[in-house]
Amino acid sequence: ALTVDVANPASVSALAWLLDGERLDLALYVAGIIRRPDARTPPTREDFDAVMHTNVLGAMQALPQVAPLVEAAGGTFAFLSTSMSQIGTVAASNAWLYRTSKAALNMAVAAARHDYPGATLVTLDPGWVQTDMGGEGAPLTVQESVRGMRAVVESLSPSDNGRLLHHDGRRAAHW
């Protein structure tokens, strides 16, 4: 596993050097921060920059460095997203900045798949998980979420390229 500060472009640009010549069957982009205000509270520039840099820009900077290595192996590049990013099923306004950033991530991955036809690019919804972000009241343990996402990645088909996939195997109808 490589640890990269996705909010720091210099750290992300070091990926090409760290991965020099590798072929990757599977690459996972696991990054995300949340700011919780609802739509009645405008985001501060600091919150906006932090969330968008971590959740979107970092992925967009990593993608052209990692995707060619995944494509060379005919592999999969998966990005952690959330069901909260689905525009067609918005149930609340809470964490609207986070929701917006992950919807942007989904779009970036869906668009980028066209430039890497030999790779499968997907976004994964881990579910509501008992983590620092999800809290103790979340219904899924980390182990259950990871087990589900592993099964989803193992079951990928060409029609999944560019899609948001849920940890339980559901394919998103709407992003």
Report which DSSP code applies to 168: T
Enter the pTM of the model: 0.92
pLDDT tens per residue, range 160-170:
999 999 999 98
Q: Is 1 domain-assigned?
A: no
CATH code for the domain of 101: 3.40.50.720
How far, CA to CA in Å, does 26 sit from each of 62, 66, 74, 143, 158? 14, 10, 9, 19, 15
pLDDT of residue 124: 97
Question: Is residue 77 within 8 Å of residue 27, measured between CB atoms?
Answer: yes
Q: Is 28 domain-assigned?
A: no
Question: Is residue 4 within 8 Å of residue 65, measured between CB atoms?
Answer: no
CA end-to-end span of the chain: 29
CA distance 146 to 158: 22
169 sits in the region (left: phi over 0; alpha: psi -120 to 50; else beta) called left
The number of folded domains in the chain is 1
Least confident of 1-10, 49-58, 95-104: 1-10
> Structural domain of residue 112, as residue ranges?
11-17+33-166
pLDDT tens per residue, range 54-91:
999 999 999 999 999 999 999 999 999 998 898 888 88
Q: Is 174 domain-assigned?
A: no
